[in-house]
A and B are shown apart, each in its own frame.
Chain A
Amino acid sequence: MSKKTFREALNEAIAQEMRRDENVILIGEDVAGGAGGKGDQDAWGGPMGVTKNLAPEFGRERIIDTPISESAIIGTAAGAALTGLRPIADLMFVDFLGVCFDQIFNQAAKFRYMFGGKAKTPMTIRTMYGGGVRAASQHSQSLYPIFTHIPGLKVVIPSNPYDAKGLFIQSIRDDNPVIFLEHKMLYDEVGEVPDELYTIPFGEANFTREGSDITLISMGKTVNLCNNVADEMKKENVSCTVLDLRTLSPLDEESILEAVEGTGRVVIVDESYPRCNIATDISALICDKGFSSLKAPIKMVTPPHTPVPFSPALEDLYLPSAEKIKKAIHSILV
């Protein structure tokens, strides 16, 4: 066990799993960087440096830099997964989903079902999501509900370095296509991470705070926001449960209903667009299966139904914040 950043935890997960299983390869734009040039042949390690130092150890046969061709990258990973490799594909920004979605949702996600259960597609798509870095409308979205909507895909969204490593190793080993979402503001987050290989099973949400008055449900980066709010609410003698979903597909319905039963009041915090998102999905689940536990309306803290703005002044207003969560809490505590 030692302190590692979210970035280091992911790098270690990939490296250790690649040492263990020679079928694991990594493919994407600048996953090493510098191909064909005269400079550093491990120049980037991805735009955030997550896959740095992998090319020197595993070689360019397994750490494959590609042209900017998202459809080909994702489709190659799907085809390779179908035929015996266990690829990790780097989609870089989740917004680039728009360039390659067919290969994900009509191809990879459906092989198993369409082929009558004969196929396995063990691939992991790594991708960055989220706002806060002033990257504007085409580089800041939180598109995970779109993946969650598609049967056949698993959707993983870690909130801290420990979960990042364990969930990533589980993603590689899973025999289904997995979308692994990394919030771009989390890479420098530090936490205790075991040095050895370990996995965290899918579909097991994590209670990061236990309380009796209110349940905050979230995923990815906004879990940390919820944890902070929960700690601050103690000053007001309000005791919060925080549930980190960890995976959106499969969804841990049991823990959600258990948390609701314990507090009767729920605020769901979700950075994705407010229509047909994870907050509305969970809200529907609670209304269907946990209605009798509710003491107040379910509140959802999300951005408004607009694209992500560029201007720092607007983006700060746009994103979920501690103030917005507290306001939601107060609105149902009365």
Chain B
Amino acid sequence: MQLNRIDLKKAFTGMSLIREFEDSVHVEFASGILPGFVHLYAGEESSAMGVCMNLNDQDTIASTHRGHGHCIAKGCDVKTMMKELFGKKDGICGGKGGSMHIADLTKGMLGANGIVGGGPPLVCGSALTFKTKKTGNVSVCFLGDGASNQGTTAESLNLASILKLPAIFVVEDNGYAEATSSEYSVGGNIVDRGKAYGLHAEKVDGNDFFAVYQATKEAVERAKKGDGPTLLHNKVNRIYGHYEGDALTYRLGEETDDIKKNKDPIKIFKKKVIESGLLNISELTDIENKVKNEIKEAIQEAKDAAYPTEKDLLTDVYVNY
């Protein structure tokens, strides 16, 4: 294990922050305060953090409609993210984007995306910038098992391959595209699709932060050496439904119980670091408490913040018009 104690604390802080953010949003949404469509990332934290711990602020990611976790892992500020979810003027996108469109270009976060399969071509573009300008950076596309069936994904895998772009496609397969099982919707398998286009492709235990971290580390090295793109098929699980309000009737209750009990990436991480003696329980508890307070404050500040006004409606459409 090449990660030191500081890295491990960072990883645990990030995963805990994502979980607390999502659990709190779940509660706030149920109370009817939060507007719009919200898709929660809880249960997949190891994937976002395992990938993003290998990236710096100049490296870029493209995200999905289930994007809060990617944003937090890439370093977006949780307080302005929360304000965005509440539609407030000081939100990370001025209240204009909401949950599905959080972006922070200063952190290399190219946007959550309301269109399934919207991200892969954009990551080809970002990787092309890096390749053209010889910056030595990488671009990562998070996509779901659902997006793996979009034409944009197939086209992007091929283009990234033939141009040897410094790109990484992270397919987070949580088992369901909306309410449809990936057992039904994915023909063949995702790793073979990557290989067929000439990418290095492998399946990763997405619940295991360390497995994701290591696979991404190798993918980043490959990209930086000019050896082309990688596809990682991260098998993960979502704790909540497709969107907030989804009754989850397509999944048996015991499946959800099993995810919470046996496949929770935060529990798995804790067990590993405690058993290996790298971090102790009180260190982890301290982090969890700190994170709880941070999110509690974020929610209160978001509730108290002001809405945008009429003069904000017509701005930002063009740079100049």
Contacts and interface: CB of A to CB of B under 8 A. Distances in A.
B186 A67 contact: yes
B91 to A, nearest CB: 8
Question: Which of A30, A39, A99 gathers most chain B CB within 10 Å?
Answer: A39
Contacts of A69: 149-151
Question: Which of B176, B180, B249, B312 gathers most chain A CB within 10 Å?
Answer: B180
B178 A33 contact: yes
B251 A95 contact: no
Contact of A313 (B97, B99, B307): B307
A129 to B, nearest CB: 15
Given A30-B179, A34-B249, A311 B184 contact: no
Interface stretch (B113-121, B163-171, B231-239): B113-121
A139 B149 CA distance: 20
A295 B178 CA distance: 53
A309 B317 CA distance: 11
Given A39-B252, A139-B37, A67 B185 contact: yes
Given A35-B185, A37-B176, A95 B115 contact: yes
B88 A39 contact: no
B248 to A, nearest CB: 8
B87 A310 contact: yes
Given A68-B146, A98-B115, A306-B317, A136 B36 contact: yes
User: What's the interface size class on A, roughly?
Assistant: 35 or more
B126 interface: no
Contacts, number: 162
Given A136-B36, A313-B87, A306 B100 contact: no
A11 B160 CA distance: 44
A304 B150 contact: no
B208 to A, nearest CB: 24
Given A33-B250, A34-B179, A68-B116, A312 B97 contact: no
A314 interface: yes
B98 interface: yes
A306 B250 contact: no
Given A68-B150, A310-B87, A36 B178 contact: no
A8 interface: no
B95 A135 contact: no
Interface in A294-324: 304-307, 309-314, 317-318
B101 A313 contact: no
B262 to A, nearest CB: 17
A317 B313 contact: yes
Given A138-B114, A306-B313, A310-B36, A33 B255 contact: no
Nearest to A133: B36
By secondary structure, the A interface counts as: loop
User: What's the interface size class on B, roughly?
Assistant: 35 or more
A311 B178 contact: no
Given A38-B255, A43-B249, A314 B101 contact: no
Given A40-B250, A314-B312, A309 B96 contact: yes
B177 interface: yes
A23 interface: no
A303 to B, nearest CB: 9
Nearest to A40: B249
A134 interface: yes
A312 B89 CA distance: 11
A37 B251 contact: yes
B255 A137 contact: no
Contacts of B178: 29-30, 33, 44, 47, 68
A244 interface: no
Nearest to B255: A38
A164 B192 CA distance: 45
A236 to B, nearest CB: 26
Interface of A: 29-30, 33-40, 43-44, 47, 65-72, 95-96, 98-99, 133-139, 304-307, 309-314, 317-318
29 contacts: A29-B177, A29-B180, A33-B179, A34-B179, A34-B249, A35-B181, A35-B184, A44-B179, A66-B185, A68-B146, A69-B151, A96-B115, A133-B36, A133-B37, A134-B98, A135-B37, A136-B99, A138-B101, A139-B100, A304-B314, A306-B313, A309-B313, A310-B96, A311-B91, A311-B96, A312-B35, A313-B87, A313-B95, A314-B307
Interface of B: 35-37, 87-89, 91, 93, 95-101, 113-117, 146-147, 149-152, 176-186, 248-252, 255, 307-310, 312-314, 317
